[in-house]
Amino acid sequence: MLTANDFIPKVYSQTIESGSFQWSAPSNIALVKYWGKKDNQIPANPSVSFTLNNCKTITKLVFAKKEKQDIFSFDLLFEGKPKEDFKPKILKFLERIEIYLPFLKEYHFTIDTENTFPHSSGIASSASGMAALAMNLMSLEKALNPEMTEAYFYQKASLLARLGSGSACRSVKGQVVVWGNQANIEGSSDLYGVEFPNAIHDNFNNFQDTILLVDKGEKQVSSTVGHDLMHAHPYAERRFEQAHENLDKLNAIFESGNLDEFIKVVESEALTLHAMMMTSMPYFILMKPNTLQIINAIWKFRSATKIPVCFTLDAGANVHVLYPENVSEKVLQFIKDELVGFCQNGQYLCDEIGSGAIKLA
């Protein structure tokens, strides 16, 4: 079992003056939700997600050795323009990961980043964004230490991404990713995400996720605050146990391909997440009236057609509509006919299962 100390490097065999890398990293959608954490971004319960394919962040990292090596130094560009308001989060990230990448203060970085999904669509870019940055930093470490194994590279990339944003550790590698210790899931760890190691039924091949953009406004309560409210939450302990139980159920469902059971677990997880928000103190609601309209329309459609389509939710009002590829034509027609009217400006994004971060340059 690896510990966090195993990711603190010793001496590097190479030196490197300057250069650049570029990676894309996708977003992911959790099926069993991460909600609640301990110190150092250790999750209160394990989670599992589908990696997405189309919603991603593309980040170029340019680096050059600098003279003064006592502070972090970086410029941040978003879609080619300086973006000051992202900088504090990046600085905090660099501070958290410095122990694992002791060379960070030796360089000046230019971080040039963009998303493939519309700006302010309400899609969290922290998972894809932190994962893409972590991949680039690992490319630099690999240049300093070419002996590094591929397994170490990806594990450490996920560990670093986790320190940027918990869910980001599930955006590194693999189609189905587990984060958090779980008996029966070999290799699972609180420190980083791992590719789901067990059998996955063909029913989940190219699984589809159509993201209905219900509300693009700023969230009233950030995920960070929401996680924190789980500390004094009256139902927290039972909820954390339930996440283990649901992950166990999904483990069996991935093997059997039982979509009815899949739907039960996934929709229950989504509603439980929001129930935790509603039963926090202070309490809050991130769903909007149209979120509920969509959920009810999906239930009605599913019961009338027996098509195995379901929903899940993130920490926001948008709805992720999940379904197998072989029903995509019918479900897309249903979305166009009956759900688009509940989306802000009729907007939705078609995505599907993907396999993780990609090195572009």
In the complex, the residues that contact ligand DP6 under the rule CB under 6 A are 30, 33-35, 41, 47, 124, 126, 165-167, 223-224, 227, 273, 314-315
- Give the pair of three-digit tokens for residue 121: 């669509």
Cβ atoms within 10 Å, residue 43: 23
227 vs 239 by CB, closer to ligand DP6: 227
For the chain, report the end-to-end CA distance as a whole number of angstroms: 33
Bridge pairing between strands 73-78 and 107-115 = parallel
| Angle subtended by helix axes 150-164 and 126-144, to nearest 10 | 140
The answer to whether 122 and 90 are in contact (CB under 8 A) is: no
90 vs 273 by CB, closer to ligand DP6: 273
| Smallest gap from residue 122 Cβ to ligand DP6 (A) | 12
C-alpha 49, offset from chain centre: 8
| Smallest gap from residue 236 Cβ to ligand DP6 (A) | 15
**Strand stretches in 33-175, DSSP E:** 37-38, 42-43, 47-65, 73-78, 81-82, 107-115
62 vs 176 by CB, closer to ligand DP6: 176
276 by Cβ neighbours in 10 Å (0-12 / 13-18 / 19+) ranks as buried
| Smallest gap from residue 281 Cβ to ligand DP6 (A) | 19
| Smallest gap from residue 329 Cβ to ligand DP6 (A) | 29
12 vs 86 by CB, closer to ligand DP6: 86
24 vs 126 by CB, closer to ligand DP6: 126
Residue nearest ligand DP6 (C-beta atom): 166
Contacts of 242 (CB under 8 A, 6+ apart): 272
d(CA 49, CA 204): 12
33 vs 173 by CB, closer to ligand DP6: 33
Residue type for position 353: I
| Smallest gap from residue 184 Cβ to ligand DP6 (A) | 20
| Smallest gap from residue 126 Cβ to ligand DP6 (A) | 5
| Smallest gap from residue 101 Cβ to ligand DP6 (A) | 19
191 vs 273 by CB, closer to ligand DP6: 273
